[in-house]
Structure 1
Amino acid sequence: MMRVLLTMLIVLNVATAIGIVYARHKHRVLFVELTRLEKDRDELNIEFGRLQLEQATVAESTRIDAMARGKLDMKFPEATDVVVIRP
């Protein structure tokens, strides 16, 4: 009876030790993945900031007006060229 109990305790002790080793390994793997994902997040936030700045620059009305006048030869219509259609 005592041998069976001692054997069970040893088996349970070894199983617990293996469980702890597995849990620590899993923790390390997940921590490495978390660190990588945080780095990716930071890089994406930097890229997003750059894109917002670029969008603000491209969408600036004076720049759009200058491009329309320079590249497309556009201009505001004269008052005589405007026709108002009423229902």
Structure 2
Amino acid sequence: MSRFLVFALVVLNVATAIGVVYARHRHRILFVELSKLERARDELNIEFGRLQLEQATVAESTRIDRIARERLGMKSPEAGDVVVIRP
């Protein structure tokens, strides 16, 4: 009976050790994946900020153009009215 108990304990100890090794390996894999996803998230946040800035810039120039046309009566020059001066 005691030999069987010792054998069972050794088998359970080995199984537990294998489980710990597998869990640590899985943890490392998931940590690397998490790091990659965080880096991608940060890059997307930077790109989103750039796009918001670009949108604000475009919206502002459109607003200025509209105000210039409506309030000041400005318009784009005709092709014949444009003079190119070269040095």
Mark yes or no: TM-score above 0.5. Answer: yes
Aligned length: 71
1:23 Cα deviation (Å)?
0.5
Where structure 2 has 5 or more consecutive residues not aligned to the other structure, the ranges are 78-87
| Large movers: runs of 4+ above 2 Å | 63-71
User: How far apart are the structure 2 equivalents of 1:63 and 1:18?
Assistant: 70
Root-mean-square deviation (CA, aligned residues, Å) is 2.1
Q: Percent identity?
A: 68
1:27 Cα deviation (Å)?
0.5
Q: Normalising by structure 1, what TM-score?
A: 0.73
Where structure 1 has 5 or more consecutive residues not aligned to the other structure, the ranges are 72-87
Q: What's the counterpart of residue 62 of structure 1? A: 64
After superposition, the C-alpha distances for 1:9-53 in whole angstroms (9 at most, x for unaligned) are 000000000000010011001100110000000000000000000
Which residue identity does 2:44 align to in structure 1? L
1:2 Cα deviation (Å)?
1.1
